[in-house]
């Protein structure tokens, strides 16, 4: 995939003490017009936005949020694909490359809308920073997230010519992946804002009940003990792995149909582990990736454990 640098029409004002001129953003070649469309899109005050880097537990949080917002309607959740109930902002354009229909899945939603995006803060709609609707951000150890990305890619026919180590080497040597540290730190430094709930995959694994309670409070929703019990069961790894509506089958089928590549089957909800990288990578390779992480985080004066909220 070819990338090019992209400079948005404007940057958020009074949000972060940052020299935006120094902030590099990259996009896949051919997506500039789409990013302009997103920059100017209409945001509703009662929208709920879920922003993450890929493979950080987005789907897990998305199902959680959708249920909280929709009064714990488990029957409705089980009868429609997650991606239709709560669209991925970039998806329609990735698949159909038509600006006229690119935002239709979002525009067709009834309020309150739950919208997922992987875009970095400066490329998200400009109205977010004036209207400040509720926004949730989830981060995950990049070692686990990148491994997850490798297998997810293979399930659509990408990365088939690469070993896991080759894939990771390319990632840690690319200027685009470097920007992931801007992606997360921008939200991390905003984490005490009342409109933002910042958490990590690791925190979700540690105490999902607490995260559900926090989210209910953040979104001004009540939850009974019975609903909590159902939530914990529905959101468990085993149930989500077996749930045909939370494994992105609808999206994956469209990507497979577009590219028609030979692929490997990996269920979307795959291993769901914290530290699964230890089973996949040699100690030498792990320390190489850790050095890359630490080198970049030094620029922001934070550690990986800070970003994962494991020091709180």
Interacting residues with ligand A3P (CB under 6 A): 52, 54-60, 144, 148, 151, 235, 237, 240, 269-272, 276
CB of 202 to ligand A3P, least distance (A): 11
Pairing assessment for the beta strands 134-139 and 114-117 based on DSSP bridges: unpaired
Question: Which residue, 88 or 129, has its beta carbon nearer to ligand A3P?
Answer: 88
SS3 state at 88: strand
Burial of 125 (0-12, 13-18, 19+ CB in 10 A): buried
Q: How many residues does the chain have?
A: 312
The two three-digit tokens of residue 235, written as one number: 């959101």
CB 149 within 8 A of CB 140: no
The two three-digit tokens of residue 263, written as one number: 């692929």
Cα separation, 296 vs 298, in Å, equals: 5
CB of 14 to ligand A3P, least distance (A): 30
Residue at shortest CB range from ligand A3P: 272
CB 87 within 8 A of CB 103: no
Question: Which residue, 178 or 280, has its beta carbon nearer to ligand A3P?
Answer: 280
Question: Which residue, 35 or 240, has its beta carbon nearer to ligand A3P?
Answer: 240
What are all long-range contacts of 64-70, with beta carbons under 8 Å and residues at least 24 apart? 64/211, 64/212, 64/215, 64/231, 64/235, 65/114, 65/136, 65/215, 65/219, 66/114, 67/231, 67/234, 68/212, 68/215, 68/216, 68/219, 68/221, 68/223, 69/112, 69/114, 69/219, 69/221
CB of 94 to ligand A3P, least distance (A): 14
Question: Which residue, 20 or 237, has its beta carbon nearer to ligand A3P?
Answer: 237
Cα separation, 217 vs 184, in Å, equals: 23
CB of 151 to ligand A3P, least distance (A): 6
Question: Which residue, 16 or 212, has its beta carbon nearer to ligand A3P?
Answer: 212
Question: Which residue, 16 or 86, has its beta carbon nearer to ligand A3P?
Answer: 86
The verdict on whether 81 is a catalytic residue reads no
CB of 188 to ligand A3P, least distance (A): 17
CA dihedral 288, 271, 49, 37 (to 10 degrees): 70
CB 114 within 8 A of CB 50: yes
Cα separation, 92 vs 52, in Å, equals: 18
Question: Which residue, 58 or 227, has its beta carbon nearer to ligand A3P?
Answer: 58
Q: Which of 118, 234, 248, 296 is catalytic?
A: 118
CB of 96 to ligand A3P, least distance (A): 21
Eight-class DSSP state of 110: P
CB of 173 to ligand A3P, least distance (A): 22
The two three-digit tokens of residue 9, written as one number: 């029409």
**Which residues are catalytically annotated?**
118
């Amino acid at each position: 995939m070819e990338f090019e640098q992209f400079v948005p029409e404007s940057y958020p004002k009074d949000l972060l003490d940052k020299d935006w001129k120094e902030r590099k953003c990259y996009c896949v070649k051919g997506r500039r017009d789409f990013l302009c469309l997103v920059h100017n899109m209409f945001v509703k005050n009662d929208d709920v936005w879920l922003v993450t880097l890929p493979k950080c537990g987005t789907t897990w949080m998305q199902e959680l949020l959708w249920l909280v917002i929709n009064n714990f309607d488990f029957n409705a959740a089980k009868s429609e694909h997650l991606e239709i109930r709560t669209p991925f902002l970039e998806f329609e354009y990735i698949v159909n490359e038509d600006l006229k229909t690119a935002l239709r899945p979002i525009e067709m939603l009834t309020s309150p809308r739950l919208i997922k995006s992987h875009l970095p803060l400066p490329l998200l709609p400009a109205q977010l920073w004036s209207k400040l609707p509720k926004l949730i951000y989830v981060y995950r150890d990049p070692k686990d997230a990148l491994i997850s990305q490798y297998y997810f890619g293979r399930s659509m026919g990408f990365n088939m010519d690469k070993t896991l180590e080759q894939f990771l080497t390319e990632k840690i040597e690319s200027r685009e992946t470097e920007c992931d540290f801007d992606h997360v730190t921008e939200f991390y430094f905003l984490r005490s804002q009342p409109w933002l709930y910042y958490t990590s995959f690791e925190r979700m694994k540690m105490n999902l009940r607490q995260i559900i309670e926090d989210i209910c409070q953040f979104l001004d929703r009540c939850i009974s003990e019975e609903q909590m019990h159902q939530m914990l069961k529905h959101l468990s790894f085993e149930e989500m792995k077996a749930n045909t509506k939370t494994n992105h089958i609808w999206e994956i089928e469209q990507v497979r149909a577009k590219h028609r590549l030979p692929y490997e089957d990996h269920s979307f909800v795959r291993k769901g582990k914290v530290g699964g990288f230890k089973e996949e990578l040699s100690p030498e390779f792990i320390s190489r990736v850790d050095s890359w992480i630490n080198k970049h985080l030094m620029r922001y004066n934070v550690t990986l454990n800070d970003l994962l909220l494991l020091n709180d």
